[in-house]
Amino acid sequence: MIAARSHRRPDFNAAFGGTVVAMLLFAALFGPGLVHYDPLALDLMARLQGPSATHLLGADEFGRDLLSRVVHGARVSVTISVLTVCLAMAIGIVLGTVAGYAGGWIDRLAMLLNDSLLAFPGLLLALGIMAVFGASVGAIIIALGLAYVPAVVRVMRASVMSLREREFVEASRVIGNREITTMLRHVLPNCIAPLTVLATTMFGWVILSETALSFLGLGVPPPAPSWGNMLAAARPHIVQAPYLIIVPGLCVSLTLLGINMLGDALRDWLDPKMQAS
Amino acid sequence: MSNQEQPLPVLDVRNLSVEIGRTGRKVVDDLSFAIPSGEMLAVVGESGSGKTMAARSILRLLPVPLHVAPASRIFFDGDDLASASDKHMRKVRGGKIGMVFQEPMVSLNPSMTIGRQMAEAQRIHLGLGRAEIRDRSLAMLERIRIQNPEKCLAAYPHEFSGGMRQRIMLASVMLTRPRLLIADEPTTALDTLVQRDVLDLMAELTSENGTAVLLISHDLGMVSHYVKNVVVMHSGRAVETGPARNVLVSPQHSYTRRLVDALPKRTEGGARDTSADAEPLLELRDVVVDYPGRGGFFMRAEPKRVVKGVSLTINRGETLALVGGSGSGKTTLGRAIIGLVRPASGSIRYLGRELLNESAAAMRDLRKDVQIIFQDPYSSLDPRQRIGSIVGEPLLLDKEMTPPARRARVEEVFLDVGLDPDFMRRLPHQLSGGQRQRVAIARAIVRNPAFVVADEPVSALDMTVQKQILHLIRKLQAKHGFACLFVSHDLGAVEQVADRVAVMDNGNIVEIGNRDDVFDNPRNAYTKRLLDAAMLLDRKFAGAA
């Protein structure tokens, strides 16, 4: 029974996670072209109206179409999270690999920097950076990206350090490969599994953090919609128009669930041992 | 004990079958055996023969999809364990039946002191008080000749060597005076001398207590010194059962014959005399290797001297075996020659070139001449790389070589080491241990090296596979003429491949000479002890086999 389950789960994860992520990407890429309303167009007559034939998901406190805002918000949220994860990964992988592989004082220096970054709560660090750069999409990406670097460095360094001692890495050195070849060909590819898990988890954290920043008024500046600032703006109207919170909230939750399941499936799929023998 | 009324055997296994899920596939098929009180029985077989699963099913410790088939009966002191309740099983485990596992490194909990681990089973199964537990533990540690037992109780497992840990494990299991001891490859991870030690101790403790022992092993030669009866298992079935001596001397089943054949014997006329060569291939002088120390929490780390000034030469085409127990520095010396660790002082000359002065680039260039085969083929191959690419990788460094030429060379080497070229697209985990080691050998010889270090190349493999790999190394050497430093603790393997033998103990070479001289007339006391531990087989059955 357990054997059967362990065979079925990755497929279900892949199917569900894949569908959610595909829908998300579709909404982010093409959604804005498909919705009727301008997400910024005010219509005071429709103010706080519930779902209806004209406004499928209802309208917010300025009478802006909720469906249109959610779809445009998806584009903003996806852009921010993809770029943030890329930024954190790029810096973190390089730093973590160098620290783990070189060891000695390079490692100690890199870890000192990393630990001092890690000493600040991620959101606080992002807040500080936002305070300096001002609120804009670019600033959010840089702020959150930097805030998530330490996690990547930690994971990367630990993987590299354990791989460094493995015999196949030594074997690569013995056949005469340069260190950089050894690293690129034998060490990095074997770090993919923990990195995929981390990247997908982080994707979720970033969406949440962006939501939190927007909620605090430091996120995507209004009137441009993001899921975070929509949640923040809906808060005073929670009793009269609960759907204003429910819709973007559901979007965030569903996205996180889908991405994490896709991550699990990816990790299994990337494990060479999962291939049929 | 030749009474008419046979006493009830402690363990009586009848028609034991272990199945995988509901597929009906069996990993153990209709196995029956019995062990009387105070006797030892060995179940011998190679990996995948089902011997471990048979032992685990007695304690109901099978991994999940496996289960004992309904018709099986496991009588322990008259109770059928196959149909016992889980609660009853918990009482039996560790109390009446003790178990010793293969890996002493992992079967002791690293974060608990020895004292607490020894106390655990006594508290649960004997219900003793603190003071009594302490007294009994101390007495037992003294009994197994642990120096300073008081200190040992407060120590953590990592402070002991593998052999020590296995003795402690054995002691703590025996403290509850079990009726049956199941030992699953208890000495496989240990070197020859320590193996003897641990098994002697096991025989001693159990015979004192009248404990029956079920010994699981892959080493027919070794167990035959200790047990009365053996069961030889092959792919789930018992192919031969009987007194150890009979099985060893006149094996009936073809598989048993293969197993007995694989027991180390000296290759006749094998030792070649290569000393006449003018220039040695490799010359080591006073090589010293230090490891950074692992000082205590508040102490400064003192470097630990592992190789203490070793000088030796290796001639073209010869095999020099470097023999010693774990911690003797033999592996470190091999790694120093290959350039994986840097000696603190001394000189390593390869064809007259001083390797320790070479630049990194020159060393990389030398790699095509000097190669290594690692011990564990499970970790020496990149799990993500297809094996064709693993073997071909060293060729990428030859910038002149075209891809078709590379492919042709890889195919040639595959055939050389006895691998089907169709395997090229496979991943390492899709191969058996022996096949993996062939891949590792192919990678080492693909650029026609002049010298290969083989670091315990067979100790992770099954006996019959060991024989094949040793044969392969010997054959490849004859064909390609590379010299080999064969690092091993296993004198049996050494006897089959070596031309000359160097014995290493505690960082020094204590004896070096031609194979037959060293094996027949050992001069050094340590060499004698090593030989005594390993050669018992031939002496006990001298003339018979």
Distances (CA, A) of B111 to A127, B80, B149, B155: 41, 36, 19, 10
pLDDT of residue B484: 93
Q: Is the pLDDT reported for residue A266 higher than 90?
A: no
The pair of structure tokens assigned to B132 is 């009594």
Domain B11-261 CATH (choose: 3.40.50.10470, 3.20.20.70, 3.40.50.300, 3.40.190.10): 3.40.50.300
- As a dihedral over the C-alpha atoms of residue B513, residue B519, residue B524, residue B525, rounded to 10 degrees, the angle is 160
Q: Does B334 touch chain A (CB under 8 A)?
A: no
What is the H or E stretch that residue B114 is in? Answer: helix B114-121
Distance CA B515, CA B460 (A): 24
Mutate to test the interface with B, among A2, A168, A195 (most CBs of B within 10 A): A168
Q: Does B437 touch chain A (CB under 8 A)?
A: no
Q: What is the pLDDT of residues B2-30, one digit of tens each?
A: 444 567 888 999 889 888 877 778 888 88
Q: Is the pLDDT reported for residue B130 higher than 60?
A: yes
- For residue B382, the chain A residues in CB contact (below 8 A) are 168, 172, 186, 189-190
Cβ–Cβ below 8 Å for A175 and B393: yes
Instruction: Give the distance from CA B294 to its chain's centroid.
Output: 26
DSSP state of A187: I
Mutate to test the interface with A, among B372, B393, B437, B439 (most CBs of A within 10 A): B393
Cβ–Cβ below 8 Å for A190 and B382: yes
pLDDT of residue B441: 93
Distance CA A14, CA A11 (A): 5
Task: Provide the whole-model pTM.
Answer: 0.77
Nearest to A167 among B64, B376, B384 (CB): B376
The pair of structure tokens assigned to B192 is 């020859």
Nearest to A3 among B65, B339, B440 (CB): B65
Residue of A nearest to B391 (CA): A175
> With contact defined as beta carbons under 8 Å apart, do B452 and B373 qualify?
yes
Summarize the confidence of residues B224-252 as an average pLDDT: 87
CA distance A9 to chain B (A): 17
Sign of CA dihedral A41, A44, A47, A50: negative
Complex ipTM over 0.85: no
Domain ranges of chain A: 16-48+56-271
Q: What is the pLDDT of residues B458-481, one digit of tens each?
A: 887 888 888 889 989 989 998 888
Give the confidence band of A178 by pLDDT, cuts at 50, 70, 90.
confident
Query: What rounded mean pLDDT belongs to chain A?
Result: 81
Residue of B nearest to A192 (CA): B384
Q: Is the pLDDT reported for residue A226 higher than 90?
A: no
Sheet with B483-488: list strands edge to edge.
B370-373, B451-455, B483-488, B319-323, B500-505, B508-514
More confident site: B534 or B383? B383
> With contact defined as beta carbons under 8 Å apart, do B41 and B227 qualify?
yes
| Maximum CA extent, chain A | 76
Q: Is the pLDDT reported for residue A164 higher than 70?
A: yes
- As a dihedral over the C-alpha atoms of residue B165, residue B169, residue B175, residue B177, rounded to 10 degrees, the angle is -140
Give the confidence band of A123 by pLDDT, cuts at 50, 70, 90.
confident
CA distance A182 to chain B (A): 11
Distance CA B50, CA B62 (A): 11
Q: How many percent of chain B have pLDDT more than 70?
A: 92
Q: What is the pLDDT of residues B179-199, one digit of tens each?
A: 899 988 888 777 777 888 888
CA distance B470 to chain A (A): 21
More confident site: A270 or B266? A270
pLDDT of residue A2: 37
Q: What is the pLDDT of residues B203-213, one digit of tens each?
A: 888 888 889 99
- For residue A1, the chain B residues in CB contact (below 8 A) are 21
The pair of structure tokens assigned to B266 is 């000296």
Q: What is the pLDDT of residues B145-178, one digit of tens each?
A: 788 888 888 888 878 877 788 888 888 888 888 8
Q: Counting beta carbons within 10 angstroms of the beta carbon of residue B206, is it exposed (0 to 12), middle (13 to 18) or buried (19 or more)? A: buried
pLDDT of residue B274: 56
Phi and psi torsions of B155, nearest 5°: -90, 165
Give the confidence band of A92 by pLDDT, cuts at 50, 70, 90.
very high
Distance CA B95, CA B175 (A): 9
pLDDT of residue A4: 39
Nearest to A175 among B65, B394, B429 (CB): B394
- For residue A190, the chain B residues in CB contact (below 8 A) are 382-384
Give the confidence band of B272 by pLDDT, cuts at 50, 70, 90.
low
- For residue B380, the chain A residues in CB contact (below 8 A) are 167-168, 170-171
Q: What is the pLDDT of residues A70-86, one digit of tens each?
A: 888 888 888 888 899 99
Q: Does A189 touch chain B (CB under 8 A)?
A: yes
Residue the block writes with tokens 């091999």: B334
Phi and psi torsions of A156, nearest 5°: -65, -45
pLDDT of residue B275: 56
The 10 Å Cβ neighbour count of residue B278 is 6
Residue of A nearest to B455 (CA): A167
Q: Does B394 touch chain A (CB under 8 A)?
A: yes
- For residue B397, the chain A residues in CB contact (below 8 A) are 175-177
Q: Is the pLDDT reported for residue B452 higher than 90?
A: yes
* Nearest by Cα to A189 from B445, B376, B427: B427
pLDDT of residue B253: 87
3-state secondary structure of B324: coil
Angle at B464 between CA B460 and CA B470, to 5 degrees: 70
CA distance B523 to chain A (A): 36
Query: What rounded mean pLDDT belongs to chain B?
Result: 84
- CB burial of B140-158 (b: ≥16 within 10 Å; e: otherwise) equals bbeebebeebeebbebebe
- For residue A272, the chain B residues in CB contact (below 8 A) are 383-384, 427, 429
More confident site: B127 or B417? B417
Residue of B nearest to A193 (CA): B384
Which residues make beta-bridge pairs with B354?
Answer: B349
Domain B282-292+305-540 CATH (choose: 3.30.70.980, 1.10.260.40, 3.40.50.300, 3.40.50.150): 3.40.50.300
- For residue A103, the chain B residues in CB contact (below 8 A) are none
pLDDT of residue B306: 85
Domain ranges of chain B: 11-261, 282-292+305-540
Distance CA A130, CA A138 (A): 10
DSSP state of B2: -
Distance CA B527, CA B510 (A): 8
Q: Is the pLDDT reported for residue B45 higher than 70?
A: yes
CA distance B402 to chain A (A): 18
> With contact defined as beta carbons under 8 Å apart, do B290 and B304 qualify?
yes
Q: Does B372 touch chain A (CB under 8 A)?
A: yes
Instruction: Give the distance from CA A137 to its chain's centroid.
Output: 15
The 10 Å Cβ neighbour count of residue B374 is 24
Summarize the confidence of residues A175-201 as an average pLDDT: 87
Summarize the confidence of residues B107-120 as an average pLDDT: 84
Decide whether B11-261 matches B282-292+305-540 in CATH topology: yes
Distance CA B499, CA B276 (A): 13
- For residue B65, the chain A residues in CB contact (below 8 A) are 2-3
Distance CA B182, CA B204 (A): 15
Q: Is the pLDDT reported for residue B544 higher than 70?
A: no
Nearest to B429 among A168, A189, A272 (CB): A272
DSSP state of B241: E
pLDDT of residue B200: 87
Residue the block writes with tokens 């001069």: B523
Nearest to A166 among B340, B379, B443 (CB): B379
- CB burial of B72-105 (b: ≥16 within 10 Å; e: otherwise) equals bebbbbeeebbeeeeeeeeebbbbbbbbbbbbbe
pLDDT of residue B220: 82
Residue of A nearest to B64 (CA): A2
Class at the top of the CATH hierarchy for domain A16-48+56-271: mainly alpha
Q: What is the pLDDT of residues B339-385, one digit of tens each?
A: 888 888 889 988 888 888 888 888 888 888 889 998 888 888 998 89
Nearest to B21 among A3, A189, A275 (CB): A3
Cβ–Cβ below 8 Å for B381 and A172: no
Cβ–Cβ below 8 Å for A178 and B384: no
Cβ–Cβ below 8 Å for B379 and A277: no
